[in-house]
Structure 1
């Protein structure tokens, strides 16, 4: 499955990184980087939790 970020909504708050630090990273410049675009199925729960926790609803899952 793949994770997508709507950059027009993302505020780089960092809840996604706190939930799944191997998938998301907030850089020194404050921008969100998806470090694992193709996420294995065994990480689905963490990815879903990160998407649900996003206060701006900027994250979505495909697949």
Structure 2
């Protein structure tokens, strides 16, 4: 599984790295980004929770 963050949609609320720091971090631009190419198996549930909780639906899990 992979996660992507749409930077043009992201509002920098910091929810995703607070829920799943194994996959997401905040950049110097104040927007979220992914820090792994593949979501680790033990982080798949929290990565999905981050996507489901994103207030602007900027995260895609594939």
- Using the size of structure 2 for normalisation, the TM-score is 0.85
Question: Which residue does the alignment assign to 1:25?
Answer: 25
Moved over 3 A (4+): none
Structure 1: gaps spanning 5 or more residues: none
Give 1:1-63 correspondences, 5 Å limit.
1-62=1-62
Q: What value does the CA root-mean-square deviation take over the aligned residues?
A: 1.3
Decide whether the 8 Å contact of 2:20 with 2:46 is kept in 1. Answer: yes
State the number of aligned residues: 62
